[in-house]
């Protein structure tokens, strides 16, 4: 990461940035460009509209957000381009960094530190801590000093990123415990080989899970193959009448919380950094057994 970057640890989750980003960077006379790839992007767009003109450059709403749009055009006169790198609810992930001639802003809440990413390509990154960084109650910001300097003036101190930089993330009493857990998590990550090692582990976990789902026709995967998330696998049972049974089998083996979000139904298995390959092995074994017993 180049020397022009500022790193902040701020109160709260990622959602504050949905309005804080346009409050700071949607400067007078400009517009903001957004990619609409799911629930989080849609929320960010809604909040940005309070502060000015928003150009939604592409959306995958037409197919219930089961893919990541490609070939979209980012206008040269936008104040910034905003996208969500990974969509937890829909199970999609952007596997490349979009080309943009305007400052790039990303909500990386659910896949930050899961893979190598060139942070230098981004003017502003934000991420809630509670997936791969630490505990809920704090969020991370990585931002270009020069981009921050161009932000709006006269906004509330607590919302002004430059004020937080001046105060070293201690403008008010920070969420000390949540930050402490981030430190422990980052040390754990470093000790275990850093991003490169965790990316390799994450790839293995996702390959095992998706291979199992693909080879058993009892499961259906709604997401386009090229856009599948390595963090959140979304699937349904091809015969919906078997869903309750599958959920029960998982619960009987202490696998809880895999029910999909009500927007998409079915199931969601999350593979965040903290989950070991052995846990994926347990659920894929169960999936194979279930397919053998109830599959056609």
Q: Minimum distance between the CB of residue 144 and a copy of itself, rounded to whole angstroms? A: 24
Verify binding: residue 14, a copy of itself, rule CB under 8 A. yes
Q: Minimum distance between the CB of residue 173 and a copy of itself, rounded to whole angstroms? A: 5
**Interacting stretch for a copy of itself, rule CB under 8 A, among 9-17, 144-152, 264-272, 273-281?**
9-17
Q: Is residue 93 a contact partner of residue 230, using CB atoms and an 8 Å limit?
A: yes
Verify binding: residue 158, a copy of itself, rule CB under 8 A. yes
**40 an active-site residue?**
yes
Verify binding: residue 6, a copy of itself, rule CB under 8 A. no
Q: Of 164 and 228, which CB lies nearer to a copy of itself in the complex structure?
A: 164
Say how far residue 96 (Cα) sits from the centre of its chain.
14
Q: Minimum distance between the CB of residue 93 and a copy of itself, rounded to whole angstroms? A: 20
Q: Minimum distance between the CB of residue 115 and a copy of itself, rounded to whole angstroms? A: 22
Q: Minimum distance between the CB of residue 51 and a copy of itself, rounded to whole angstroms? A: 9
Number of residues that bind a copy of itself (CB under 8 A): 34
Pick from 85, 88, 130, 273 the residue near a copy of itself by CB under 8 A. 130
Catalytic-role residue among 2, 5, 31, 40: 40
CB atoms within 10 A of CB 183: 11
Verify binding: residue 112, a copy of itself, rule CB under 8 A. no
Catalytic-role residue among 36, 111, 131, 144: 131
Q: Of 249 and 261, which CB lies nearer to a copy of itself in the complex structure?
A: 261
Pick from 7, 70, 149, 176 the residue near a copy of itself by CB under 8 A. 176
Q: How far apart are CA 243 and CA 245, in angstroms?
A: 5
Verify binding: residue 18, a copy of itself, rule CB under 8 A. yes
Active site (catalytic) residues: 40, 107, 131
Binding site for a copy of itself (CB under 8 A): 11-16, 18-19, 23, 43, 46-47, 50, 128, 130, 135-138, 154-159, 171-178, 181
């Amino acid at each position: 990461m180049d020397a022009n970057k500022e790193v902040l640890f701020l109160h709260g989750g990622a959602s504050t940035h949905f309005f804080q980003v346009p409050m700071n960077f949607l400067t007078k006379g400009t517009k903001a460009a957004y990619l609409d790839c799911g629930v989080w992007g849609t929320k960010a767009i809604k909040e940005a509209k309070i502060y000015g003109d928003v150009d939604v450059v592409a959306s995958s709403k037409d197919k219930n957000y089961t893919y990541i749009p490609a070939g979209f055009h980012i206008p040269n006169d936008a104040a910034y381009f905003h996208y969500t790198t990974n969509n937890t609810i829909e199970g999609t992930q952007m596997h490349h960094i979009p080309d943009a001639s305007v400052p790039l802003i990303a909500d990386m809440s659910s896949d930050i530190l899961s893979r190598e990413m060139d942070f230098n390509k981004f003017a502003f990154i934000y991420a809630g801590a509670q997936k791969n960084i630490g505990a809920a109650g704090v969020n991370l910001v990585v931002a270009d000093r020069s981009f921050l300097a161009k932000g709006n003036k006269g906004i509330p101190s607590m919302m002004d990123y430059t004020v937080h930089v001046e105060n070293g993330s201690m403008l008010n009493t920070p969420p000390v415990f949540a930050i402490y857990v981030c430190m422990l998590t980052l040390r754990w990550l470093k000790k275990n080989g850093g991003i490169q090692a965790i990316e390799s582990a994450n790839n293995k976990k996702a390959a095992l899970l998706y291979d199992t789902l693909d080879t058993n026709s009892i499961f259906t995967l709604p997401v386009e193959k090229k856009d599948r998330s390595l963090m959140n696998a979304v699937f349904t049972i091809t015969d919906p009448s078997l869903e309750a049974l599958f959920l029960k089998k998982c619960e009987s083996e202490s696998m809880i919380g895999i029910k999909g979000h009500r927007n998409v139904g079915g199931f969601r298995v999350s593979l965040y950094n903290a989950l070991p390959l052995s846990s994926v092995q347990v659920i894929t074994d169960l999936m194979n057994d279930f397919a053998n017993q109830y599959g056609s």
